[in-house]
Amino acid sequence: MAYVKVGQENSAAIEVSYEDHGTGRPVVMIHGYPLDGRSWEKQELALLDAGCRVITYDRRGFGASGRPATGYDYDTLAADLDRLLTVLDLRNAALVGFSMGTGEIVRYLARYGSARISRAVLFAPLGPYLRKTPDNPDGMDASVFEEMARACAADRPAFLKDFLDVLYDVDVHRGTRVSDQAWQASWNTAVTASARAARDCIGAWLTDFRPDLPAVDVPTLVVQGSEDRVLPPEASGDRLAGLITGMKHVVVAGGPHAVCWTHPAECNAALLDFLGR
């Protein structure tokens, strides 16, 4: 485990923790909420076996990274990603994100361009825009997210329990595609995150990515579960298809939001095929 400095808060440096393993084409993996870089283990194993160099990192506020009081917006989070790519001087890299991590990819490409990036993979994508507005009538009322933030602040462990239940569709997949131990490991990770990060990241989900999407100029793969209760395909990937030129869209039958964990065979096959074995 190593660290890269991404900022300063009062007397302490803000550092992002990362792991860098293997050789070959670099693949940078950006985790979802409320997990950390270790949540990619099923994809990391497949990528390493396929001869890739795999870089995972913990978003600020999560895992082993610093826990500042600010910076839980996509401009800052994309800047953190840019700092990591710059320090490691990565070229021809593939960016792979899950859920909240797909936002960093889209904002990064819009702000910093694709000079270092060859491909993008979006698992259970966040975009294009979740807030209901006059020009986005199919979105969700902002009050839904405001209530989530209040619930997180009031009793974060209980909120995270409910969130993870929906993430994995435990009522369907418990004991088959997600064990009690895997669910517990996710909760253990989630509850150790910064309370400020856990609450403030919810507000970031309402970011409007529609202006950013035309800047996604690299081959892009979107993978999501057909039974995603957090970000259903009709609210996310189906809408992205008309906004990202040449996007490839794979829907995994029966998959929940955390499709990378519950359906690794399908996800890894799509990922490796897209990256080029």
Task: Give the catalytic positions in this structure.
Answer: 99, 228, 257
The DSSP symbol for 73 reads: S
Task: Kindly report the number of other CB atoms within 10 A of residue 80's CB atom.
Answer: 22
Distance of CA 41 to the CA centre of its chain: 14
The full DSSP string for 192-222 is TS-HHHHHHHHHHTT---TTTGGG--S-EEE
Task: Kindly report the number of other CB atoms within 10 A of residue 79's CB atom.
Answer: 19
> How many CA atoms lie within 13 Å of 214's alpha carbon, on the beta-carbon side?
1
Tokens of 277: 């074995």
- CA-closest candidate to residue 7, choices 98, 72, 54, 63: 72
**Cα separations in angstroms, 71 against 9, 14, 221:** 10, 10, 28
